[in-house]
Structure 1
Amino acid sequence: MTRLTRSFAILAALGLATGAVSVAPPAAAREYVTVTVTDRPPPPRFERPPPARIGYVWAPGYWNWYGGRYVWVGGHWNPVRPGYVYRPPVWRPYGHGWRIERETWVRDGGWHR
């Protein structure tokens, strides 16, 4: 191996090592905006749940606050997460208004592998 070839090989190896070390994974943070609404949310709309699907849980529809008014968001399927329980969004009284608790997955304390 000539001196010039060896120098290029070392330079390439250093470049690859520097690139591999400097790669940062994207942040997994979520941003939440909390809005308190003075108007009580409308009653939920009736949605007939579709037949069960293996490996999925049905997330019922709910009223969301968007653009200064309530907007209906239809139900949808979510993939099951073993060891977790799905909690749908719910509006709760807060002070002199209403605040939504977003859908979430919580650990199932009685679940074991």
Structure 2
Amino acid sequence: MKTLSKLGMVAAIAGSLFLSSCATDSYVVERPAEPVYVRPVSPYANAYWVPGEWVYRGNRYVYRNGYYVRPRANRVYVQGNWYRGPRGYSWRKGHWR
């Protein structure tokens, strides 16, 4: 009987921890897995491949495939990346610098 009451206490503690982690003001964003994507053949000479990026839509991150662009004169493309913040991971969008 004592083991049953200990088991019940452990279950109650675990349940309360689970429910407290599901509160709406407390969430953690997990870093999604990188999808496998084959880069298509360049459509023209000197085309620059902008790698795919993550976009936050509808309470989750979705992957947007990369694409080719004409390179910008005297500018460099800085690729997007994941960074870890207090609420989990966030995506920094790539940009031309």
Gaps of 5+ in 2: 1-26
Return the offset for 1:95.
2.2
Indicate the percent of aligned positions where both proteins have the same amino acid.
24
The aligned residue for residue 34 of structure 2 is: 44
Q: TM-score, normalised by structure 2?
A: 0.59
Return the offset for 1:93.
0.7
After superposition, residues 59-98 of structure 1 pair within 5 angstroms as: 59-98=50-89
Return the offset for 1:51.
2.5
Letter in 2 for 1:49: R
Letter in 1 for 2:30: R
Q: Which has the larger radius of gyration?
A: 1
1: distance between equivalents of 2:29 and 2:87? 9
Letter in 2 for 1:47: Y
Runs of 4+ with deviation above 6 angstroms: none
The two structures, once aligned, show a CA RMSD in angstroms of: 1.9
Gaps of 5+ in 1: 1-36, 107-113
Choose between structure 1 and 2 for higher RCO, CA contacts under 8 A separated by at least 6 residues: 2
Q: TM-score, normalised by structure 1?
A: 0.52
The aligned residue for residue 22 of structure 2 is: none
2: distance between equivalents of 1:38 and 1:79? 38
